[in-house]
Structure 1
Amino acid sequence: MVTITDVCKRAGVSRSTVSRVVAGNGYVSEAKRKAIEQAIADLGYRPNSFARALRSNRSNVIGAVMVDIGTPYFAEIIYGVQRAIRPAGKSLMVSSGYADQDMEARAIVEMVDRSCDGIVLYLERPMRPEVVEILKKAAVPVVSIGHNHYPFSRATVGLDNFEGARTAMRVLLDQGHRSIVYLSGDLTIGDAIDRLRGVEAALSEVGMSLDDIEVQSGLFHDSFGLSAGRELLARRRDFTAVFAGADVIAAGFYMAMREAGLRVPQDVSVIGFDDSYHSQFMSPPLTTIRQEVGELGKQAAQHLLALLADPMAGPLQSLVRTRLVDRSSVAVPSLVKEVA
């Protein structure tokens, strides 16, 4: 194994000079720098990151606990985190908590045990008290995305779920829809709770309430959209619009519509939430609420880097806004067309 001593001998310089070049700290003459870089290239030397971490008391590793990194949504958040930390020379360690309190706890403790410099958390369940104490004693800076389940977090990044859902429901109401079904995600999860509040706020603006529409909740998954759609269409045909609390739910509902020989939006208008990649390729393309998912990860990582640079910084807060993406899955209900 090539060592720093081998590089010193090849370049004809001291160990401290090589260390300054490798770390990028301190002055080294251009001639010596070129000699050291050439020696490193010739010998294939790789700095011992573990040894450097011991000396600096930094691992240069950022931990990230997401709900499920196997989904495009959370993969995009991770992409945003990595995009922000790479220029700072940080590596990334990732784990999933699967919206399960025990698995979330295990993932967090693993990050602490592996000496992560800081952790980005996207949790769906309250953090166990013993895990709160472990994080607190380890003095690991934490940034929470979404709902903050760590009471000592110095930074948070939120998504404007409330305003996004209110905008979506307003679109349907402004088109004249009143017989509406809202297919929500799991209503024990923070994002779904906030979106339901947005739906309720939009309804109140026209003198309606949640009692005036049908609300069903399930997984943020196309299987829920499909099963709920099949059940709805078998039971009733009087609703004119569906607000799907996620684009994947809308995709499942599209499948149920096709099975029933119905068309979007001629028979039922559909609006989604996320603007996931596939929504623009659905038939018809899905009108939806866009959230900048990668921006969630990017801003969380930037907050964490700021806390690492200055542990007394904060509290830091940011909110990622949503916006309407108007495509072709929402139309005026047929009854309103006939009256007009």
Structure 2
Amino acid sequence: MATITDVAQLAGVSRSTVSRVVARNGYVSDAKRKAIEQAIAELGYRPNTLAQALRSNRSNVIGAVVVDIGTPYFASMVFGVQRAIRPAGKSLMVSSGYADQDQEARAIMELVDRSCDGIVLYLERPMRPDVVDIVQAAQIPIVSIGHDHCPVSRGRVVLNNYEGARQAMRYLLEQGHRQIVYLSGQLTIGDTLDRMQGIAAALEEFGLELDDIHIVNGAFHESFGYRASKELVQQGRQFTAIFAGDDDIAAGVYQALRELGLSIPGDVSVMGFDDAFYAKHLTPPLTTVRQEVDALGQSAAQMLLRLLEDPLAGPLHSGHETSLAVRASVAQPHSIEEVA
């Protein structure tokens, strides 16, 4: 196995110069850096990361806890985190908390036990007091995405869910829809509450209230959109538009309406939220609220790297806006004069 001495001899430089290149720390001329990188590739040299961690008192590992890494939404967020930390020479360790306080606590403690340099958190439940104590004792910097359920976070990245939902509902109302169903996420989730407030604000602009639309609460999952849509039709409820709490719910709505023989947007307009990668590939393409999920993860990771460089920085804050992606799934209702 090649050693740092072998690399130094082949590149014609000192061991300390090789160390600076490997650690990305300190100045090295372009010519020497290129020679060292060529020698590393030729020899297949791999640095001893454990020894480096012992010398620097850092593991060079960033931890991340999200709701469910198995979903496209949070996979994209994790991608953004990794995109930010890779150039800084950091590795990534990820765990899911499943919107459960105890599962989130377990995920955080596992990352602390593995000596992560810092942790990015997307939590749906308040951090347990015992875990707060553990994080404080470990002196690990924390950055939160979304609602801040960690009292020791030094940074926070937020999405303007309120404005996104307000724009989406206003668009439906501007098209003439009044018989609207909103398939909401769980009311215990912060994003759901923010979006509900945005919807209420849009309705108020048109002299309406939340009671003037039909709201069904469920999980941010395709199965909820499918089941709820079928039940609405079977119950005989009249509606011209469905606003889905996220694109996964909207995908379930599409499937149910198709099986019921209803066309989109001819019979029912459908609005989503997130602009997941598949939204524009649905038939018809889904009108939805666009958010750059990977940018949320990238911002959080960049914030964390800053805190690692300057522990006294903060509290830091980064806000991200949404936009409306208008496609073919929303149109005016057939009898617009009857609902206007």
TM class by smaller structure: over 0.9
Once residues 339 and 320 of structure 1 are traced to their aligned partners in structure 2, the CA distance between those partners, rounded to angstroms, is 34
Instruction: Give the unaligned 5+ runs of structure 2.
Output: none
Three-state SS of the structure 2 residue aligned to 1:334 is: coil
Residue 262 of structure 1: aligned partner: 262
Once residues 243 and 256 of structure 2 are traced to their aligned partners in structure 1, the CA distance between those partners, rounded to angstroms, is 15
Once residues 293 and 265 of structure 1 are traced to their aligned partners in structure 2, the CA distance between those partners, rounded to angstroms, is 27
Once residues 5 and 234 of structure 1 are traced to their aligned partners in structure 2, the CA distance between those partners, rounded to angstroms, is 75
Residue 251 of structure 1: aligned partner: 251
Once residues 32 and 205 of structure 1 are traced to their aligned partners in structure 2, the CA distance between those partners, rounded to angstroms, is 64
Instruction: Give the unaligned 5+ runs of structure 1.
Output: none
Once residues 77 and 5 of structure 1 are traced to their aligned partners in structure 2, the CA distance between those partners, rounded to angstroms, is 40
Deviates more, 1:238-247 or 1:5-14: 5-14
Once residues 241 and 29 of structure 1 are traced to their aligned partners in structure 2, the CA distance between those partners, rounded to angstroms, is 62
> How do residues 281-296 of structure 1 correspond to structure 2 at under 5 angstroms?
281-296=281-296
Shift of 1:44: 2.8
Once residues 13 and 238 of structure 1 are traced to their aligned partners in structure 2, the CA distance between those partners, rounded to angstroms, is 77
Once residues 214 and 90 of structure 2 are traced to their aligned partners in structure 1, the CA distance between those partners, rounded to angstroms, is 48
Q: Which amino acid aligns with 1:146?
A: G
Once residues 309 and 135 of structure 2 are traced to their aligned partners in structure 1, the CA distance between those partners, rounded to angstroms, is 19
Residue 232 of structure 1: aligned partner: 232
Residue 93 of structure 1: aligned partner: 93
Once residues 125 and 202 of structure 2 are traced to their aligned partners in structure 1, the CA distance between those partners, rounded to angstroms, is 28
% identical aligned pairs: 69
Once residues 222 and 30 of structure 2 are traced to their aligned partners in structure 1, the CA distance between those partners, rounded to angstroms, is 59
Three-state SS of the structure 1 residue aligned to 2:120 is: strand
Q: Which amino acid aligns with 1:174?
A: E
Once residues 326 and 317 of structure 1 are traced to their aligned partners in structure 2, the CA distance between those partners, rounded to angstroms, is 30
Three-state SS of the structure 1 residue aligned to 2:278 is: helix
CA contact (8 A) 2:168 2:288 kept: yes
CA contact (8 A) 2:286 2:327 kept: yes
Q: How many residues align structurally?
A: 340
Once residues 291 and 28 of structure 2 are traced to their aligned partners in structure 1, the CA distance between those partners, rounded to angstroms, is 47
Shift of 1:39: 5.3
Deviation string 1:111-163 (CA, Å, 9 cap, x unpaired) is 11111111000011111100011111111111100001111111100011111
Residue 308 of structure 2: aligned partner: 308
Shift of 1:10: 6.2
Shift of 1:251: 1.2
Deviation string 1:171-205 (CA, Å, 9 cap, x unpaired) is 11111211111000111111111111111111112
Q: Which amino acid aligns with 1:70?
A: G
> How do residues 54-69 of structure 1 correspond to structure 2 at under 5 angstroms?
54-69=54-69
TM-score, structure 2 length as denominator? 0.93
Q: CA RMSD in A?
A: 2.2
Three-state SS of the structure 2 residue aligned to 1:294 is: helix
Shift of 1:275: 0.9
TM-score, structure 1 length as denominator? 0.93
Inter-CA distance 143–70: structure 2 relative to 1 (3 Å threshold): same
Shift of 1:219: 1.0
Shift of 1:285: 1.2
Three-state SS of the structure 1 residue aligned to 2:58 is: coil
Q: Which amino acid aligns with 1:325?
A: A
Once residues 93 and 230 of structure 1 are traced to their aligned partners in structure 2, the CA distance between those partners, rounded to angstroms, is 40
Three-state SS of the structure 1 residue aligned to 2:183 is: strand
Once residues 183 and 218 of structure 1 are traced to their aligned partners in structure 2, the CA distance between those partners, rounded to angstroms, is 7
Once residues 4 and 97 of structure 1 are traced to their aligned partners in structure 2, the CA distance between those partners, rounded to angstroms, is 40
Structure 1 residue 180 and structure 2 residue 180: aligned? yes
Residue 322 of structure 1: aligned partner: 322
Deviates more, 1:224-233 or 1:197-206: 197-206
Residue 110 of structure 1: aligned partner: 110
Residue 155 of structure 1: aligned partner: 155
Shift of 1:13: 6.6
Residue 198 of structure 1: aligned partner: 198
